[in-house]
Amino acid sequence: MICVLSGGTGGAKFVDGLRQVMPAEDITIIVNTGDDLLWWGLYVSPDLDSITYVLSGMLSRERGWGVKGDTFLCLQAMGQLGEPTWFHTGDRDLAVHLLRSRLLAEGKTLSEATAVICGKLGVKARILPMSNSRVETRVDTPAGELSFEEYFVQRWYQDPVNSVRFAGASDAEPAPGVLDAISSADAVLIAPSNPVTSIEPILAVPGIHQALLSARGKIAAVSPIVGNAPVAGPAGILMAAQGLPCSIAGVAKAYEDFLDVLICDTRDARAADALRRGGLRVQCAQTVMRSAEDKAALAREVLSLVAGNLLKEQPESNTAFRRLSPP
Amino acid sequence: MICVLSGGTGGAKFVDGLRQVMPAEDITIIVNTGDDLLWWGLYVSPDLDSITYVLSGMLSRERGWGVKGDTFLCLQAMGQLGEPTWFHTGDRDLAVHLLRSRLLAEGKTLSEATAVICGKLGVKARILPMSNSRVETRVDTPAGELSFEEYFVQRWYQDPVNSVRFAGASDAEPAPGVLDAISSADAVLIAPSNPVTSIEPILAVPGIHQALLSARGKIAAVSPIVGNAPVAGPAGILMAAQGLPCSIAGVAKAYEDFLDVLICDTRDARAADALRRGGLRVQCAQTVMRSAEDKAALAREVLSLVAGNLLKEQPESNTAFRRLSPP
């Protein structure tokens, strides 16, 4: 059993690779919910959605979020009603938000709602929100404190960042199954997600950091930073705000308490050497995932380092479907 | 000022005619909310929607409900999630349900939410729900008691009907403005809507029947029954269940306490004579509305009987828009 800690975009790509090279049933993904937002009165969980969509074959790989082939007519109509439209919610995408919101309104927890949705969509991996309590990533900027999606999507991460906090984290509890998934995993993989706003919120939930410290499996992280810049998004700015250099050294530092192996890009070979001199195990690989093959190769590389026994190429049909389906 | 009591489909056609021959600002429509339902966790008010859409130029005249040119991708996705899909909600249509549901969740009344939505959509007439309290039309059938939409849309009105009741009506209050709109109107028009499930719920709200009895303006009803059959829908079955013949005599009986003039179809000339002999004023007209011209002609006929002073043909631009826009 493998346990993955993940955010949305980079995490979805990484998980897309993992499911090609090992049975999806053996993967548990613990997902950041610090970006969750109430949107048009619906509860939207962007990272849970990306992971759910990639594992059900619904993700728009072109966009990296939302449902492939989706349309945006409700969004357009909401604009005509004077409602905000900066967070792009597709018409098919809305179905998941509607169902989740109804389940939550009926008293189900986020874990339970996630399990229902995954069941309906035929997702074989286990997707767990980090917590059923509300933990909100708040980004402090000169323009005021923003939610992560306000900072990231509405304002295109143009604001300077003073600091980041995870409101509600200290009172939160890990969702059922989270601590056990970490403790009992053959390996824990930290996806190439933003260390500050995708992984730190998970680590901020009381008990999770401790579970990582005492995990029986090896812990490996894939760096989302290549050559002193993030592969995508605002990780660099946010790392700087948290006192972390935007480099593989910064990634290593973010996870230093529990990290066994860092997987960094081949372009960071020199920086990798420096880290190795400091005692960390570092493996270089091609970490930028453009094709299905890139994703599988990275997943294979990472698994071979920490849980080679779990490697098992998945039936060709999966790949064929992936190749045939529109972006 | 004209006050119209209305359901959805037939009422929307009638209102579509009225706005061609008098200023929309002078029309108040009191709308049945007995068909309202929670659908996918959203508050949907089918008759309020039809009246709002027709007055904002958004109604699909082809279907008679929903937004013209709408798509149904969210509905399709909901089906894939195993959610019910029998009530067809379009992607653009969803925007209004989302906004209304959010406003209600924020503590606004249905009247207030309706005013907000009408404002956003540029509706110049005043649309009032009959009540801000929940009044539910319940149809008793051998298969059990059904909500109106279950009976009508989900089960295609195939069930025999034992009786109809309006749950919650006795505790309901008319929405703000309703009683005053009736009392002060130059004329009250009862749209060619189903007397049992569109108009009776309105009359069941305490105070409304009394306001009609003491209204200063004339009260005219357009018959939705032509030649012993409803123009559309289950009015015949439902009237029979309430002890009313499916004829213009049944319509007259439903409104007998306060009706001044009945407008029936020219095909009912003989039945009209019989009613006249009983003392009712009856006017024959072409009541089946197929084109914009049919609607305007009927509205003109009705207004000329009870409030001819309000007749004022509306600018050609309206009609041009109507002609150019897709169904």
Question: Chain A contacts of B76, Cβ < 8 Å?
Answer: 92
pLDDT at B117 over 70: yes
Mean pLDDT of B67-94: 97
Q: Rounded CA gap, A215 and A213, in Å?
A: 6
pLDDT of residue B233: 87
Domain-embedded: residue A152 = yes
The nearest CA of chain B is from the CA of A82 a distance in Å of 7
Q: In 3D, which of A8, A80, A89 has the Cα closest to residue A46?
A: A8
Considering only the beta carbons, identify the residue of A70, A92, A98 that sits closest to B41. A98
Nearest chain A residue to B118 by CA: give it: A81
Show the beta-strand stretches assigned E in A61-186: 126-129, 136-141, 144-147, 163-167
User: Of A98, A103, A123, which to mutate for an interface test with B (greatest number of B Cβ within 10 Å)?
Assistant: A98
DSSP track, B133-164: S--EEEEEETTEEEEHHIIIIISTT-S---EE
Residue A308 pLDDT: 84
Burial (0-12, 13-18, 19+ Cβ within 10 Å), B309? exposed
Q: What digits encode the pLDDT tens for the residues A83-133?
A: 999 999 999 999 999 999 999 999 999 999 999 999 999 999 999 999 999
Per-residue pLDDT for A144 more than 70?
yes
pLDDT band at A318 (very low <50, low <70, confident <90, very high): very low
Rounded mean pLDDT, A161-167:
96
Report the pLDDT averaged over residues B221-247.
93
How close B280 gets to chain A, by Cα (Å)?
A: 45
What is the pLDDT confidence band of residue B267, given thresholds at 50, 70 and 90?
very high
| B94–A77 CB contact, under 8 Å | yes
Cα dist from B149 to A118, A306, B69, B160, B241, whole Å: 30, 57, 23, 15, 17
pLDDT of residue A233: 87
Say what the pLDDT of residue A327 is. 36
Query: Which CATH number is B73's domain given?
Result: 3.40.50.10680
Residues A68-93 have a mean pLDDT of: 97
pLDDT for B302 beyond 60 = yes
Q: Is B42 on the interface with A (CB under 8 A)?
A: yes
For B153-185, how does the pLDDT look when each residue is reduced to its tens digit (9 = 90+)? 999 899 999 999 999 999 999 999 999 999 999
Q: For position A17, what pLDDT does the model report?
A: 97
CA dihedral sign of residues B81, B84, B89, B95: negative
Is the CB of residue B71 less than 8 Å away from at least one CB of chain A? yes
Q: Give pLDDT tens digits for B8-21.
A: 999 999 999 999 99
> Which residue is associated with the tokens 């049909």?
A317
**Closest Cβ–Cβ partner in B76, B77, B98 for A41:** B98
Quickly state the pLDDT bin for A323 (edges 50, 70, 90): very low
Q: Kindly state whether B293 is in contact with chain A, defined as any CB-CB distance less than 8 angstroms.
A: no
What pLDDT shows up at residue A258? 98
Whether A29 has a pLDDT exceeding 50, the answer reads yes
∠B15-B16-B17 over CA atoms, to 5°? 85
Task: List, for residues B241-264, the tens digit of each pLDDT value.
Answer: 999 999 999 999 999 999 999 999
**Residues from chain B contacting residue A87 (CB–CB below 8 Å):** none
**Does the pLDDT value for residue A324 go beyond 90?**
no
Q: How much is the average pLDDT of B105-114?
A: 98
**Beta carbons within 8 Å of A100's beta carbon, 6+ residues apart:** A42, A43, A45, A110, A113, A114, A117
Cβ–Cβ below 8 Å for A105 and B41: yes
Domain count, chain A: 1
DSSP B67: B
Best CA proximity match to A297, nearest among A4, A5, A21, A11: A21
Residues β-bridged to residue B6: B31
Residue positions counted in chain B = 327
Quote the CA–CA distance of B209 and B253 in Å, as a whole number: 14
* ipTM at complex level: 0.87
Do the beta carbons of residue A192 and residue A295 sit within 8 Å? Answer: no
Residue A246 has pLDDT above 80, yes or no: yes
DSSP state letters, A178-238: HHHHHHH-SEEEE-SS-IIIIIHHHHHSTTHHHHHHT-SSEEEEE-SEETTEESSSSHHHH
**Inter-chain contact B80–A120, Cβ cutoff 8 Å?**
yes
Average pLDDT score over residue span A142-150: 96
Q: What is the pLDDT of residue B269?
A: 96
CA B4/CA B190 separation, integer angstroms: 6
Chain A residue nearest residue B106, CA to CA? A41
Mean predicted confidence (pLDDT) in B296-315: 92
Residue percentage of chain B with pLDDT more than 70: 96
Residue in A41, A80, A98 closest to B102 by CB = A41
Give the Cα separation of B125 and B215 in Å (integer). Answer: 20
The per-residue pLDDT for B316 is 56
Give the domain extent around B221.
Answer: 2-324
Asked if residue A314 lies in contact with residue A23, where contact means CB atoms within 8 angstroms, the answer is yes
pLDDT-based confidence at residue A316 (cuts at 50, 70, 90): low
Chosen for mutation from B53, B73, B100 (greatest number of chain A CBs closer than 10 Å) is: B73
Closest chain A C-alpha to B293 CA, distance in angstroms: 29
Mean per-residue pLDDT over chain B, rounded: 94
The answer, for B115 touching chain A at a CB cutoff of 8 Å, is no
- CB contacts < 8 A, A to B, total 91
Verdict on whether the full-model pTM lies above 0.95: no
